[in-house]
A = this chain, B = another copy of it.
Amino acid sequence: MTRQDGLDVAGLQRRLAEFAAAREWEPYHTPKNLAVALSVEASELVEIFQWLTPEQSARVMEKEGSAHRVRDEVADVLAYLLQFCEVLGIDALAALSDKIDRNEIRFPAK
């Protein structure tokens, strides 16, 4: 599953770190503030769906306006998650892989 285009988590995490450093945003990027910003962005994603029925929510990518908005909020959530992991030295992919391993034991398949 190699991506030829350089779109990987480590590369994006590095771009985000350079972006913040070049703008001198690092003093704002405490782990607490980044976790809070992540939750604010997650709520902005939820806001798109808040009055939709389950069925309507499944068709949210059919209109370009809402599709763009959804992609944009996904990007924001991922951006703050990776910046949070960067400042605390967390490997997000390894954390998720470990969690899936544990969940396979905790919730046996039928």
Contact = CB atoms under 8 A, between A and B. Distances in A.
Interface of A: 1-3, 6-12, 15-16, 19, 22-24, 28, 30-33, 35-40, 42-54, 57-58, 60-61, 70-72, 74-79, 81-82, 84-85, 87-90, 92-100, 103-104, 107, 109-110
As for how many copies of this chain the complex holds, the number is 4
Contacts of A51: 28, 33, 37
A42 to B, nearest CB: 4
A100 B79 CA distance: 9
B93 A74 contact: no
B100 A12 contact: yes
Given A39-B43, A75-B99, A85-B74, A32 B49 contact: yes
